[in-house]
Amino acid sequence: MTEATPLFLDTEFTGLHQQARLISLGLCAESGAAFYGEVSGLDPAACDPWVRANVLAHTRWLGRPGARPQTLREGELTACFGDPPTMARGLADWLAQWPRVEVWADCLAYDWVLFCELFGGARRLPAQVFYMPFDLVTLFKLRGLDPDTDRVAFAGMAGAPRRHHALWDARLTLACYRRLLGEFAPCP
């Protein structure tokens, strides 16, 4: 069996509630390959006040009236803007570069659900995506660290200019993962 490539996921969404809708999604690999997507047609009024103040300002297309659906390749980055089916196609194409992937997120309760929802549910994920996600919160706990540890300080990424940007936060998750696995003894 082919070893799975870990990918690091973060999403931004309209609020902490059951009707949360996806705003943006970032995925990155240890190789530097990255995917960033934003869902078109978002009504800012659908976002809670915290999201409007802390997330929408970091979006690439949502603040630009007249932005058209598109998928761009910029070096190792694939960027996609469009409705959910457009974003799902762009993401599936990007994921196709690996025969098998596992998804890691920080605190994945919303991230994983919204990721799966983009494809029409967990049973419709691209074939190479392992159906069980993994999370940093559990790794922090297993390493004897407070699961609420400040991720930016832990990763040494002070001066975080893009916090609450899905791709930046996915890269922060990768940095924490590397430190958790690299600097701490294996779990007993």
pLDDT level of residue 186 (50, 70, 90 thresholds): low
pLDDT level of residue 147 (50, 70, 90 thresholds): very high
CB neighbour list of residue 188: distance below 8 Å, 6 or more residues apart: none
Name the CATH code of domain 5-183 (choices 1.10.3720.10, 3.30.420.10, 3.40.50.12780, 1.10.357.10): 3.30.420.10
pLDDT one-digit tens code per residue, 18-50: 999 999 999 999 999 999 999 999 999 999 999
Find out whether 72 and 79 touch, Cβ atoms under 8 Å.
yes
What single-letter DSSP state applies at residue 48? -
**pLDDT above 90 as % of the chain:** 86
SS3 content of the chain, % helix, strand, coil (to 5): 35, 20, 40
pLDDT of residue 188: 47
- Domain limits, the chain: 5-183
Rounded to an integer, the average pLDDT of 81-109 is 96
pLDDT one-digit tens code per residue, 44-63: 999 999 999 999 988 999 88
Better-predicted residue by pLDDT, 162 or 11: 11
DSSP strand pairing (34-39 vs 101-105): unpaired
pLDDT of residue 158: 80
pLDDT of residue 161: 66
